[in-house]
Structure 1
Amino acid sequence: MLETPVLIVGGGPVGLTASLLLSRYGIRSLLVERHAGTARVPKARGINARTMEMYRQLGIEADIRAAGLSAQSTGLIVWTESLAGREIERRVPGRALAKNLAMTPTSNCLCAQDDLEPVLRRHAEAAGPGELRFSTELTALRPDADGIGATILDRASGAATEVRAGWLIAADGAQSPVRRQLGLKMLGEEKVYDSVNILFRADLSPWVKDRPAALYFVEQPSLRGTFLTINATDRWGFLIHSLSHYGFRPADFTPELCVALVRQAAGLPELPVEVLGTSAWEASATVAERYRVGRIFLAGDAAHEMPPTGGFGMNTGVQDALNLCWKLAAVLKGEAGEALLDSYDAERRPLAELTTRTSLANALSMGRTARQSSAVLPRREFLNEQGLIFGVPYESGAVLPDGTPPIQAADPVTEYLPNARPGSRAPHVWLQRNGARISTIDLFGNRFVLLAGPDGGPWAEAAQGLRPEVEAHIVGREILDPEGAWQQGFGVSADGAVLVRPDGYVGWRSPGGSANAAAELRGVLDRLLAR
């Protein structure tokens, strides 16, 4: 019998990130993945700035950027009749505008999934105490009130192993066998449109080098598809939407047809093309009715499916892992009550529902679904969803309201208004420590962090010796605020304080001081951690 505190099913970006996070928190886990290795095709490509903040905190941002493409290689979005033909329009995505880049110390990254996963796997294996087993499949699941019984099968040797786990994270994809065994329904709109991805080699650099883009949308009466930048030179994807509308079936996509379609979309009848593979799939816009059943949690595509228009699927999934893993660690260490884990569903499922609706609206606006329309250019929200990426607040028992009213943006999808109201992502402010420029974002990620104003010494003293450990900083003393932006950005006075959770979200805020800071802060942690 193999025993582990946490069993992770699925070794994609979500499962690998969960393993890395749990190891960072000192929690042993076992990850099983039925495939022999990491992804062999690009799949997801875009990593948004909020996700890159998370990987920055884990210390792996530079490695991910090294595996991906530079911003200079993918700065535009282009609509064209063909790559060699008339260009319809080109745009700089709203996420890349200066005003939006100023909201974070990092930026988006285009790193195809088959390049990203090896980086995540390498770091997860090095981190310990998490263990990763590829070519290993979950074949039986027996949850009970005290834990999870499971059988895993080594697909190479055929050997079966019995496992006993305290908790299970199902990161096993859109067809999640774990979710199906639990009988959980997916709510929303299934099979919105069908698609096929063609992965190919061709030198397209003469037609893209002067307009580097992440996406080249091809608009023809008989073909609407998208060139997906993989390495920006000779490795590409071509995505054809709504196959049935054009009379295609997945079985029709022979190498010969794929070559012909790529040439048609490129507007280059003699272009040398090598087809590397095809994959057919259907886009859905659905979210699981629940994210938790007893000791089992859904994460990533197992919990939500969304059209790729906007690039939210993988990002939403790995941020699920960030939200869940610090809470699991706190419970396993005896620092929190089990009721804390209910906040995972309360916080992440509403966000997934909003994100899924937004992704579907993007797809519909571009006529990319079976509901064909003459629309070519997308709605203005497409790739301009700053509010959705940074600004959606959490409401749960793991957030203590401070009595201030909700922040009202004119358009909550596109507009992000930085604030430190409890439940919000703690905003980015440039500070200085030991002569080096750092972001507030760089202070978060490993544990609870208390930030107090220059006269907030009692709060910092109250943080000493608490369980779990609270890292306290006085902004204006050992950490300097050279631009004088921190107090206003976080909404506190010189003797106020905020408590930021390990996932970078504000859990509590006191605009000013307290007559008994120690007692108040202890009570805050008790309530936040459901103990």
Structure 2
Amino acid sequence: MSDSAVPPAPADAAVDVPVLIAGGGCAGLTASMLLSGLGVETWLACASQDTSVLPKAHVLSQRTMEIFRDVALAESVYELSTPPQNMSHAGWYAGLAGDREEYGRRCGKIEAWGAGGANPAWAAASACRPANLPQIRLEPLMRRRAEELAPGGVHFGHELTGFEEDEDGVTATVVDRARSTSYRVRSRYLLACDGGRLIGPSLGVGTEGADDIARMVSIHFSADLSELLEDDEVLVRWLWLPESGVGVSLVPMGPDNWGRRSEEWVVHLNDSEEAVASLDDEAVVAELRESLGLHDHELSVHRITRWRLEGVVAERYRLGRVFLLGDAAHRHPPTGGFGLNSAVQDAHNLAWKLAAVLHGRAGEGLLDTYEDERKRIAARNVQHAVNNAVSHLLAVQAMGMGPGSDPEANWAALHRLWGDGNGESRGEGAEEDAAGDAAENTAFRVQANRAIASQSMEFDALGLDYGYTYEVSTAVVADGTPEPANPDPVRIYRPGTRPGAPLPHAWLERSGGARLPVADLVRPGAFLVIAGEEGEEWVAAAKKTAESLDVPVEAVRVGHLDGDFLDPRSTWVAHRGIGPRGAVLVRPDRFVAWRSPEGVEDAVGALTDALVRVLDRADGASMRDAADDAPGHSAEAGTERPDSGAGAGSAQ
């Protein structure tokens, strides 16, 4: 349903919903979709008339694709996104085109995003592979799905202009720009997904970090570059420009073809003196042509964007009934692709908690864990993204290049990298220096190649992308076990069930041989007990606990030979961290909340205690009656996963 088909709210009346979402980017749309799936009514108001007109973020992590799968969006994203074979590597090149035959020659190449999902470690982490879809094409899919799940609840061109919080909720003023009318929205909670424009600053929320690292200019254009490029498997191209000594990035945008034959591209330009950012559009295009050697090449510019490179985290993520998500909570350099993915994952962390409180299944203290869990992850991601940006500068420096460097010296350095000597002609008597030059050139190549290889901290960061954990939180019951040893937490993900860890992936089989990922056992809004093959007492305890606490708790037994689901490859058994009579309690967002390595004398008591702690329950009684009387009470969560096919978007 389009927003124009939805009648405006009466100017003299208030909309009354449990959750008001301010902003219609990736954070707001994800929150809308997830909360709809959990039976929570929302009203989304976005000041923009439509979804993003900027390509902006594009790489979608495995975790994000899992979340999209929860709302039946993953298949649509995969259909439009870059084929895996065209996003398996990142490459570095000597510019793009020019008057020397060496222009465009490759300097180095490394695997990226798990080789498009083919890296066994990435395939073992999730049933979903990474994807790549520019935000200009992703957000329309998200908006369409959000409108399907919340008919009449998604409003673009509606701007939140003010709000007041009281003891029971938030009253916001929203302006319908198309009709030049305003109306009030009364909600229990307000989600600030507005990019930090109004709500956070109005509450006095500052940021921590660097808010002006560099000035950037991005140019989105159409051009046929197929004859100038090689390496169809490369997604992001880093161009070292010998004439200026700086580097720029070139990224394909599709939409119908990828690799060298992409119809659209984005180039990110910057330099240390910010000269490009001060140019008018015509001069920026001239700079683009000069930098890439596209002097007479046919191209059509769609949009030029000037922006600041930031690395900041909001001081607070929750203030009373207001929560900050996405760019309102953190802003990253694009190196690493953390911005969009973090926004989606913010909403995923918060949605089930809001639903649990609104449905009367949890205490307000559960909502405090949103900041406890997500701010630490965001701070780590921001710092890593900044480190990635610096790493690219260091790679340029390793070549002896930089702003103002001598072009001929830069070309000589490239020839040394390629093993073509030092790029200089030699006169008589040069032979006696050959041995020394060879050793020097070898050392130079080692240094340069190491600088390129080190970029795996950006393009192969599985430990950060997927293996992040929630430990400092009351929504996790620690078991006192030490953090598993990991020689490289950035690049290596160690699956396990230590409380706070993501649910390890494994392919299971049910009777009859139907195959599904263990993640599919976790239904939206429900906790899951995964017991060992001899854990019948935990299955019985889950049923009793669910009834006494009025909380959705399901339970299954999983083992290699016996259980409700079988583990044919012993993958789950290898990672589960419990014995045949033990159990793992998984939260609705598929993070481990608690575990018992073995059976216990009172399984009902142990499981009840864990859930009461995780949900901030004052006692073990049902909280439904209190919820029924609360303003903005909403319907029950659904019981079916929208996208229930086990193979959806999966790496088989």
For the 8 Å contact 1:259–1:273, the answer to whether it is kept is no
Deviation, structure 1 residue 520: 1.7
Match of 1:488 among 565, 574, 585: 574
2:201 corresponds in structure 1 to 180
Q: 1:209 to 1:72 in 2, by over 3 A?
A: farther
**1:86-134 deviation line (CA, Å, top 9, x unaligned):** 2211221263333333222111100110111111111111113771011
C-alpha separation between the residues in 1 aligned to 2:223 and 2:276? 23
Deviation, structure 1 residue 445: 4.9
C-alpha separation between the residues in 2 aligned to 1:101 and 1:196? 36
**1:23-60 deviation line (CA, Å, top 9, x unaligned):** 01100011100111111221110101111122123322
Moved more, 162-171 or 83-92: 83-92
Deviation, structure 1 residue 246: 5.7
For the 8 Å contact 2:276–2:284, the answer to whether it is kept is no
For the 8 Å contact 2:496–2:504, the answer to whether it is kept is yes
SS in 1 for 2:458: coil
C-alpha separation between the residues in 1 aligned to 2:394 and 2:334? 11
Moved more, 71-80 or 187-196: 71-80
Max radius of gyration: which structure? 2
2:485 corresponds in structure 1 to 408
Deviation, structure 1 residue 491: 0.7
TM-score (norm 1): 0.95
Q: Write the mapping of 1:391-402 to structure 2, written as runs, cut at 5 A.
A: 391-395=467-471, 396-402=473-479
**1:287-336 deviation line (CA, Å, top 9, x unaligned):** 11110000000011100111111111110111000000100000000000
Which residue identity lines up with residue 32 of structure 1 in the other structure?
A
C-alpha separation between the residues in 2 aligned to 1:432 and 1:526? 32
C-alpha separation between the residues in 2 aligned to 1:445 and 1:356? 31
Match of 2:106 among 84, 87, 91: 87
C-alpha separation between the residues in 1 aligned to 2:57 and 2:455? 22
Which residue identity lines up with residue 528 of structure 2 in the other structure?
V
C-alpha separation between the residues in 2 aligned to 1:3 and 1:93? 46
Which residue identity lines up with residue 254 of structure 1 in the other structure?
D
2:529 corresponds in structure 1 to 450
Identity %: 38
2:144 corresponds in structure 1 to 122
C-alpha separation between the residues in 1 aligned to 2:274 and 2:42? 47
For the 8 Å contact 1:21–1:325, the answer to whether it is kept is yes
2:460 corresponds in structure 1 to 384
Q: 1:486 to 1:23 in 2, by over 3 A?
A: same
1:288 to 2:314 alignment? yes
Q: Write the mapping of 1:234-245 to structure 2, written as runs, cut at 5 A.
A: 234-242=263-271, 245=273
2:234 corresponds in structure 1 to 213
2:339 corresponds in structure 1 to 313
Q: Write the mapping of 1:36-115 to structure 2, written as runs, cut at 5 A.
A: 36-84=49-97, 85=103, 86-93=105-112, 95-96=114-115, 97-115=119-137
SS in 2 for 1:334: coil
1:142 corresponds in structure 2 to 164
SS in 2 for 1:477: coil
Q: Write the mapping of 1:16-55 to structure 2, written as runs, cut at 5 A.
A: 16-55=29-68
Deviation, structure 1 residue 514: 1.7
Deviation, structure 1 residue 410: 1.8
Moved more, 381-390 or 93-102: 93-102
SS in 2 for 1:207: coil
1:461 to 2:461 alignment? no
2:506 corresponds in structure 1 to 429
For the 8 Å contact 2:41–2:150, the answer to whether it is kept is yes
2:621 corresponds in structure 1 to none
2:212 corresponds in structure 1 to 191
C-alpha separation between the residues in 2 aligned to 1:331 and 1:369? 49
SS in 2 for 1:320: helix
For the 8 Å contact 1:213–1:229, the answer to whether it is kept is no
1:254 to 2:247 alignment? no
When you count strand as a share of all residues, which structure comes out higher?
1
SS in 2 for 1:55: helix
Moved more, 483-492 or 314-323: 483-492
C-alpha separation between the residues in 1 aligned to 2:175 and 2:482? 52
Match of 1:131 among 149, 153, 157: 153
Q: 1:189 to 1:310 in 2, by over 3 A?
A: same
Deviation, structure 1 residue 281: 0.3
1:499 corresponds in structure 2 to 585
2:411 corresponds in structure 1 to none
C-alpha separation between the residues in 2 aligned to 1:211 and 1:18? 36
Which residue identity lines up with residue 50 of structure 1 in the other structure?
R
**1:124-165 deviation line (CA, Å, top 9, x unaligned):** 111137710110000111112221011000000111001111
SS in 2 for 1:367: helix
For the 8 Å contact 2:567–2:573, the answer to whether it is kept is no
Deviation, structure 1 residue 386: 1.2
Deviation, structure 1 residue 441: 1.9
Deviation, structure 1 residue 495: 1.0
Deviation, structure 1 residue 83: 2.7
Q: 1:129 to 1:478 in 2, by over 3 A?
A: farther
Which residue identity lines up with residue 470 of structure 1 in the other structure?
V
Deviation, structure 1 residue 19: 0.2
Structure 2 residue ranges without an equivalent (≥5): 1-13, 98-102, 403-447, 618-652
For the 8 Å contact 1:78–1:213, the answer to whether it is kept is yes
C-alpha separation between the residues in 2 aligned to 1:311 and 1:368? 20
C-alpha separation between the residues in 2 aligned to 1:218 and 1:319? 32
Aligned length, in residue pairs: 527
1:202 to 2:223 alignment? yes
Deviation, structure 1 residue 261: 3.4
C-alpha separation between the residues in 2 aligned to 1:80 and 1:11? 37
Moved more, 265-274 or 55-64: 265-274
2:10 corresponds in structure 1 to none
Q: 1:300 to 1:352 in 2, by over 3 A?
A: same
Which residue identity lines up with residue 289 of structure 1 in the other structure?
E
SS in 2 for 1:431: strand
**1:4-26 deviation line (CA, Å, top 9, x unaligned):** 10000100011000000000110
SS in 1 for 2:276: coil
RCO (CA 8 Å, sep 6+): is it higher in 1 or 2?
Answer: 2
SS in 2 for 1:7: strand
1:521 to 2:607 alignment? yes
Deviation, structure 1 residue 2: 1.2
1:9 corresponds in structure 2 to 22
Which residue identity lines up with residue 554 of structure 2 in the other structure?
E
TM-score (norm 2): 0.78
SS in 1 for 2:393: coil
Which residue identity lines up with residue 340 of structure 2 in the other structure?
M
Moved more, 482-491 or 279-288: 482-491
For the 8 Å contact 1:82–1:266, the answer to whether it is kept is yes
Which residue identity lines up with residue 69 of structure 1 in the other structure?
T
Which residue identity lines up with residue 463 of structure 1 in the other structure?
A
- Let me know the Cα RMSD of the aligned residues: 2.0
